[in-house]
Amino acid sequence: MGQKLPGVEAFFAFCWEGLSREHKDDLISHSQPRNFKNGDIILPYKGECLGLMLVQSGQFRAFVLSSEGKEVTLYRLFDLDICLFSASCILNNIQFDIQIQAEKETKALLIPSSLYERLMNQSAAIANYTNQLMSSRFSDVMWTLEQVLFKSMDSRIAQFLLEYANIEGTNDLMLTHEAIARDLGTAREVVTRMLKYFTNEHLLELTRGRIRLLDIKRLREIAG
Amino acid sequence: MGQKLPGVEAFFAFCWEGLSREHKDDLISHSQPRNFKNGDIILPYKGECLGLMLVQSGQFRAFVLSSEGKEVTLYRLFDLDICLFSASCILNNIQFDIQIQAEKETKALLIPSSLYERLMNQSAAIANYTNQLMSSRFSDVMWTLEQVLFKSMDSRIAQFLLEYANIEGTNDLMLTHEAIARDLGTAREVVTRMLKYFTNEHLLELTRGRIRLLDIKRLREIAG
């Protein structure tokens, strides 16, 4: 409480100096504070084209959904990340659907899509910055694709557990097997089998709804 | 022979009107003709940062390569397509390696990366156009990811055969099972088994090194 949240200029730090006074003022004066609860959907959002969502504090998850309802996580956004695809309507040639959802209570600033579109057209600095944001998300998705294509399930699960521990800042994870399976787009049984194998190898300890990581070093080796 | 190849302005048709006279002249006067043979590597290219490769005629394939040498095709580029990632060195935040190779004899125009970087920084039109190119490639990769994640192998192989027939303009395909397996990142045995199944279903006919598609309608249904 009372903690100061980052302003627009913190998100555009890489190109702020290259912007005109007028464009800086536009960004500051038109950004709107938004609050999301855990589970709130950011994209698709009631048929509206929201705009850039600047994550001040909290967590978003971007994922794809198959027609059978299978989910696979593409990437996560944290404090000071910019959610570009909530403005995908103004990005020509984007021909895919992703879903974005809050995973924690999240405070964000919204830059409306109409304003951002105008700035992209007027300012090479903003257009190039958008490019950098897209490159980052593209890199995230390529990482996920290479995981899916080339990595075996033991390494993907080890990777997931280590990343989760890192995000939460603890080796004592409140995680169900269902949650891991959903994130990796596999069956719960596959996750349960692998976690039992890890337990037998003394890499972790399982209790109801909780996973305690015991051997971080070997989990890192498996994660590769 | 003697067929006129498209010039630079044909590739930048979407933003040509938005460019200054000087930038148009830069693009035209600095583009360099390049010829590639089937199998030539465009990316990575001898440690050089080439630049934008404008495909005038021919075919490029972009793919990822695992540490064990497994390949998966991400997308293909044809006449009038622009190869953006041969200039990936000037795209900040691109953190992945892809390989690009000529699949046919290919004629291209090269826009050197130093020139293109300067134009992106000076022109919002060029920067936004780069954005559109990146969005297209991002969409291609998302399509591949969704295929890998959500589609069964029968549908992926049917899809591959139909696309290949479409590219080559014939239903009589000179294709080995190895080539299909390599493209889809699976084992040759899996492809052979599925092609035999398709043969039994009278969807295609197999002879040495050749696949003749018989029932396009049903293959389309399987491709989904």
Region A6-28: what's the mean pLDDT?
A: 96
Nearest-by-CA chain A residue for B125: A121
**What pLDDT score does B2 carry?**
60
Min Cα separation A174/chain B (Å): 27
| Residue B92 with chain A: CB contacts under 8 Å | 131-132, 135
Q: What is the pLDDT of residue B188?
A: 83
Q: How far is A31 from chain B (nearest CA, A)?
A: 22
Q: Does B207 touch chain A (CB under 8 A)?
A: no
CATH class of B151-223: mainly alpha
Average pLDDT along chain A: 92
The predicted structure's pLDDT at residue B211: 96
The residue-averaged pLDDT of A54-58 equals 97
Residue boundaries of the structural domains of chain A: 8-144, 151-223
Residue A35: how many other CB atoms lie within 10 Å? 12
pLDDT attached to residue B45: 81
CB of B170 within 8 Å of any CB in chain A? no
Q: Nearest residue of B to residue A89 by CA position?
A: B135
Q: Specify the fold of A8-144.
A: Jelly Rolls (2.60.120)
Model pLDDT for residues A104-119, shown as the tens digit of each residue: 999 999 999 999 999 9
Q: Which of residues 43-72 of A touch B (CB under 8 A)?
A: 64, 66-68, 70, 72
- pLDDT (tens digit per residue) in A63-121: 998 877 788 889 999 999 999 999 999 998 898 889 999 999 999 999 999 999 999 99
pLDDT at A156: 92
Q: What string of pLDDT tens digits covers the 224 residues of chain B?
A: 567 999 999 999 999 999 999 999 999 999 999 999 999 999 998 778 899 999 999 999 999 988 777 888 899 999 999 999 999 999 988 988 899 999 999 999 999 999 999 999 999 999 999 999 999 999 999 988 988 888 888 899 999 999 999 999 999 999 999 999 989 888 788 888 889 889 988 899 998 889 999 999 999 999 98
B28-64 pLDDT, tens digit each: 999 999 999 999 999 998 778 899 999 999 999 999 9
Is A144–B143 a contact, with Cβ atoms under 8 angstroms apart?
no
Question: What pLDDT is recorded for position B49?
Answer: 87
- Could you tell me which residue, A197 or B59, shows the higher pLDDT? B59
Fold match flag (B8-141 vs B151-223): no
CA-wise closest residue to A39 among A88, A87, A106, A96: A106
**3-class state of residue A112 by DSSP:** strand
DSSP A44: S
Please check whether residue A55 is in contact with residue A108, taking contact to mean a CB–CB distance below 8 angstroms.
Answer: yes
Q: Which of B66, B131, B137 sits opposite A149 (nearest CB)?
A: B66
Taking CA atoms, B105 is separated from A3, B5, B41, B94, B165, in Å, by 61, 14, 12, 28, 19
Global ipTM: 0.84
Picking from A121, A132, A185, the nearest residue to B149 by CB comes out as A185
User: With bands split at pLDDT 50, 70 and 90, how would you rate the model's confidence at A141?
Assistant: very high
The size of chain B, in residues, is 224
* Interface contact B145-A64, CB threshold 8 A: yes
B136 contacts on A by Cβ (under 8 Å): 93, 95
As to burial, measured by CB atoms within 10 angstroms (0-12 exposed, 13-18 middle, 19+ buried), residue B155 is middle
- Asked if B94 is an interface residue toward chain A (Cβ–Cβ < 8 A), one would say yes
Residue B68: per-residue pLDDT: 76
| Check whether domain B8-141 has CATH 2.60.120.10, yes or no | yes
Which of B123, B126, B136 lies closest to A93 in CB terms? B136
Q: Please name the residue of chain A whose CA is at the shortest distance from the CA of residue B89.
A: A135
Task: Please answer yes or no on whether A145 and B146 come within 8 Å at the CB atom.
Answer: no
Q: What percent of chain A stands above pLDDT 70?
A: 99
Which residues from B are below 8 Å from A98, CB to CB?
Answer: 142
